Amino acid sequence: MDIIDVGGESTRPFADPVPEDQELERVLPAIEIIRQQTDIPVSIDTTKASVARAALAAGATMVNDISALRHDPDMADVVRSCDGPVIIMHMQGTPRTMQLDPRYDDVVEDIITFFQERIAWMSEQGIDSRRIIIDPGIGFGKTLEHNLEILRNVARFRATGHRVLIGHSRKSFFDKLFGIPVTERDCPTAVVSALCFLQGRISSGSMMSRPHGRP
């Protein structure tokens, strides 16, 4: 499935947050233009309920929240009021702090436990769990070894019964592995996409455009 993911706030390591009005100025015109050109599903990448609400009104069809609905207490109401998919991501810390010293007992099991807790909470808020897509958060509070362990275990995330999104496109771990700049990461991105697909039918983050960049 093709998805256009629109975000107005950088979530790369050590990034500063963006004010709500600036985020709205960035995403709403983009969504409106996309909607004039195509009916491809549009995802609004935000942790702010007000931005998600405005984006959905402008034509976005799904919400992508890297905080897994933890940042804004009103986000559950926004998600509950629409009927499209919602992507929740695992992140240790915040973009400002996530790469300082990420640690896990068992990175895959810890992330699965996190998702189980968040999905249970969302169900209590009246959000149909069948709408939920989980994103283990490659690069979000993860070392290279953590990222590789996640990629080796996509099937374990798929076994939760939820669709899985792996957001690995052109990320910096390719540089750590192969010493290649971002302009040369399309081929390894495609290879990882194929390897993930072989572990189960998943959504791939390589299909999403991220103009402000993820780690």
pLDDT more than 90, % of the chain: 77
Looking at residue 99, its pLDDT comes to 87
**CB–CB of 152/200 below 8 Å?**
no
Residue 84, number of CB atoms within 10 A of its CB: 15
39-71 pLDDT, tens digit each: 999 999 999 999 999 999 999 999 999 999 999
Looking at residue 210, its pLDDT comes to 38
* Overall pTM > 0.85: yes
Find the helix packing angle between 144-152 and 107-124, rounded to 10°: 70
**Cα distance between residue 10 and residue 46, in whole Å:** 10
Reported as a pLDDT band with limits 50, 70 and 90, residue 1 is low
Looking at residue 126, its pLDDT comes to 97
Q: Does the pLDDT value for residue 191 go beyond 50?
A: yes
153-178 pLDDT, tens digit each: 999 999 999 999 999 988 989 999 99
Looking at residue 98, its pLDDT comes to 81
**Cα distance between residue 121 and residue 16, in whole Å:** 28
Residue 6 vs residue 11, higher pLDDT: 6
Looking at residue 163, its pLDDT comes to 94
DSSP class per residue in 60-76:
--EEEETTTT-S-TTHH
**Cα distance between residue 179 and residue 77, in whole Å:** 44
Tell me the domains of the chain and their CATH numbers: 4-207 (3.20.20.20)
81-126 pLDDT, tens digit each: 999 999 999 999 888 888 888 999 999 999 999 999 999 999 999 9
